[in-house]
Structure 1
Amino acid sequence: MRAFRIIGPLKGEVVEQKVYEIKANEVLVRVGACGICGTDIHIFKGELPLKYPVVPGHEISGEVIEVGSEVQFFRKGDKVAVNPNLYCRKCYYCKRGLVHFCENWKAIGIHLPGGFAEYVKVPEFLLHKVPETLSFEEAAFAEPIACCLHGIRRLEISTGDKVAVFGLGPIGLIHIQLAKMSGASLVVGIDLIEKKLKIAESLGADYTINAGSKDPVKEIMSLTEGRGVDKVIEATGSPKVLEQALRVIDYCGKILVFGVAPP
């Protein structure tokens, strides 16, 4: 099979390698689609502490090709989406249902071979069946949307809330839609690229701000009669933008720090 692997900072190669052999509790998935996440870019640039080489890609959908002898709920031909977070189910946090804080956490596409390949092997408990009505490309969004949903639930957007979303990459655009679906009366999208602002408007943003030509703090305060917004979603990872988020949040408001800031 072919796979793309990162062998060091700013160094990658396409290689031919053997198809993975699966264990009794694992499933072999033929990759149908795999999104390119900001994390993959950080890996490629050498900005994350990990061991090279690595096959990146963790936003994965595909088709089941082979199942291990102990697999119970999946069969060859099933369309699936992958949860890339391998948690141990035994540590202090896993036993309390906080699997995202697993003390032995590993991730497909970071520590284990990911979806930038023709095939990926996955423990059964990390697979989710996908309706045939969804395309592989749509199903690959299951992972980033799940992350955004978790953030939105922690943010607790109420009907009528005013929400600002800083950064309109794929994650920010997902948050725009989820904020509107959660009942926000005003959703403001902020970015430096005009094309992204137009997409945000098409996906439900009520107002957009080009931070390259306007001061987002002044604009947001003007929109809210000087009070600021109830909720802010910071999806850039920029310390400067986080400072702006703090300046536009109203009393008793909440900020979701979703972007990954540099070390």
Structure 2
Amino acid sequence: MLEVVVAKNRELRVIESVTPIAVNDEVLIQVAFSGLCGSDIPRVFHNGAHYYPVTLGHEFSGTVIALGPKVTELKIGDRIACAPLVPCKNCDVCHQGLYSLCKNYSFVGSRVRGGNAQMVAVPQDSCFKLNEKISFKQGAFFEPVTVGIHPILMAGGCTDKNVVVLGVGTIGLLAVQSAKAMGAKTVTAIDIDETKLDKAKTLGADFVFNSLDTDFIAQLQQLKQIDANQLILETAGTPITVKMAIAMAGPRAQIGLVGTLHQDISMTHSEFEQILRKELSLFGSWMNYSKPYPGEEWRITAQLFAENKIDIESLTQASLAPHEYIEEVIALDGKPSNGKILLEW
């Protein structure tokens, strides 16, 4: 079979390799689409992989073509989206169903071979079955959709809440749509990119603000209809946007920290005081799993896709064969993409 490997830092190759065999509770998947995640960028360009060569791809879909001898939940021909976390299921947090917090986990597409291969063997529990209403391309978007839904569920849902999404890259734009579909009273999108803000408006955002405008927080707070009962999702993952979330928050707002910081954050005593004076609730959101595995996030995503409430076409930068995929990824030169880049097998 063929696979796309990160041979070493900043070097992608298409290679021929031996088709894996499904053992024990594994199934062999013929991959349809595999998406490039923002977390893959450091693995390609910034020496961020656990090892080299590595076959990335944790956002993928495909068809079951072979079964290991201990497989009981799947059959040949089943169409699946991959839930890439492989928790140990033996530790204290796993017993509580807090699979995202497992410390003894494996992960398809970073720690073991992922979907950037024509075929990949994964545990049956990592296979979320797709019904006939859901396409393979939608299946490759399950993982990033669930990243935005996880903090919404952690916050007790978003029904009748005023949801603010700070940073509308792919994750943020999916979160805008998910919050709208899950009953948010209003959804507000904030970014520095007018193109992304226009897209957010098209995808259902009620209000948009460019954070480069020096008075945007004052403008936002003047909208009294969105100042109360807030759920703010910080998806950009920068020190300045975390502090923005605190500054813009209304009374007793919930702030879900989704984006991963790669720089230290510091704040003044007056910035910190806002957390106290507004009685804010800040919480971290890590990955996208709950019980029963892989979690309610995945079942909600399936429902939203089946009901055509999530648009992925406008979020897709390109869907490419292996060599063209490599060219598109290398052209990023370590920077984020403008949309999802898909490897199509």
What TM-score, normalized to structure 1? 0.92
Which sections of structure 2, spanning at least 5 residues, go unmatched? 264-345
Q: Distance in 2 between matches of 1:12 and 1:181?
A: 38
Report whether the alignment pairs 1:34 with 2:34: yes
User: Hey, what does 1:143 align to over in structure 2?
Assistant: 143
Moved more, 143-152 or 199-208: 143-152
- Are residues 162 and 113 of structure 1, via their aligned partners in 2, closer, same or farther at CA, if it must alter by over 3 Å? same
1:85–1:106: 8 Å Cα contact kept in structure 2?
A: yes
Give the Cα separation in 2 of the matches to 1:244 and 1:195. 21
Matches within 5 A, 1:244-255: 244-255=244-255
How many Å separate the matches in 2 of 1:79 and 1:13?
Answer: 28
Structure 1 counterpart of 2:129, one-letter code: K
Q: 1:119 to 1:206 in 2, by over 3 A?
A: same
- Greater CA drift, 204-213 or 169-178: 204-213
Structure 1 residue 9: Cα displacement: 2.6
1:176 aligned residue: 176
- Residue 93 of structure 1 corresponds to 93
Residue number in structure 2 paired with 1:167: 167
Contact 1:228 1:248 (8 Å CA) reproduced:
no
- 1:181 Cα offset (Å): 2.6
Q: Indicate how the Cα distance of structure 1 residues 124 and 244 shifts in structure 2: closer, same or farther if over 3 A, else same.
A: same
Please provide the CA RMSD for this pair. 2.0
Separation of aligned partners in 2, 1:215 and 1:192:
13
- Determine the structure 1 residue equivalent to 2:257: 257
Task: Report the Cα distance in structure 2 between the residues aligned to 1:226 and 1:136, rounded to whole angstroms.
Answer: 37
- Structure with bigger strand share is 1
What residue in structure 2 maps to residue 67 of structure 1? 67
Q: Are the aligned partners of 2:167 and 2:191 in contact in 1 as well (CA < 8 Å)?
A: yes
Checking the alignment, whether the CA contact within 8 Å between 2:186 and 2:226 is kept in structure 1 is no
What are the Cα deviations for residues 233-263 of structure 1, in whole angstroms up to 9, with x where unaligned? 1111111111101101112111111111115
Residue 157 of structure 1 contacts residue 231 of structure 1 at CA under 8 Å; is this kept in 2?
no
Residue identity matched to 1:151? P
Alignment deviations for residues 200-241 of structure 1 (CA, whole Å, 9 cap, x no partner): 112110011223345432331222389577121111111111
The residue type paired with residue 96 of structure 2 is R
**Paired residues for 1:79-228 under 5 Å:** 79-213=79-213, 215-224=215-224, 227=227
Instruction: Report the residue type matching 1:249 in the other structure.
Output: A
Give the distance between the partners of 1:200 and 1:62, measured in 2 at CA. 29
**What SS does the aligned partner of 1:7 have?**
strand
Distance 1:229 1:44, change over 3 A: farther
* Counterpart AA for 1:156: G
Q: Secondary structure at the match of 1:109?
A: coil
SS in 2 for 1:251: coil
CA distance in structure 1 between the aligned counterparts of 2:239 and 2:59, rounded to whole angstroms: 26
| Distance apart, 1:116 and its partner CA | 1.1
Partner residue in 1 for 2:5: 5
State the 1:167 CA deviation.
1.1
Retained in 1: the 8 A contact 2:2–2:15?
Answer: yes
Report the more deviating stretch, 44-53 or 135-144: 44-53
Percentage of identical aligned residues: 32
Q: Is the 8 A contact 1:8 1:46 kept in 2?
A: no
> Does structure 2 conserve the Cα–Cα contact (< 8 Å) formed by 1:31 and 1:117?
yes
Q: Distance in 2 between matches of 1:157 and 1:82?
A: 24
Instruction: Output aligned runs, 1:15-54, within 5 Å.
Output: 15-46=15-46, 48=48, 50-54=50-54
Task: Assess, with a 3 A threshold, how the Cα gap between structure 1 residues 170 and 252 changes in structure 2: closer, same or farther.
Answer: same
Query: Residues 103-139 of structure 1: CA distance to partner in whole angstroms, max 9, x if unpaired?
Result: 2111111101111111111111111211122110011
Q: Secondary structure at the match of 2:251?
A: strand
CA 1:203/1:106 → structure 2, altered by over 3 Å: closer, same or farther?
same
**What SS does structure 2 have at the residue aligned with 1:233?**
strand
Distance in 1 separating the partners of 2:49 and 2:33: 26
> Residue 97 of structure 1: CA displacement?
1.6
Q: 2-side partners of 1:260 and 1:224: how far apart? A: 30
| Consecutive unaligned residues in structure 1, runs of 5 or more | none
Q: Which amino acid aligns with 2:185?
A: S
**Does 5-14 or 244-253 show the bigger shift?**
5-14
8 Å CA contact 1:27, 1:71 repeated in 2: yes
**Count of aligned residue pairs for this structure pair:** 263
Q: Which moved more, 1:173-182 or 1:200-209?
A: 173-182
1:41 & 1:30 partners in 2: Cα distance?
A: 24
Q: Which amino acid aligns with 1:193?
A: D
**Offset of 1:157 from its aligned partner?**
4.4
Q: Bigger CA drift: 224-233 or 30-39?
A: 224-233
Q: Structure 2 vs 1, CA of residues 217 and 73 (structure 1 numbering), >3 Å: closer, same or farther? A: same
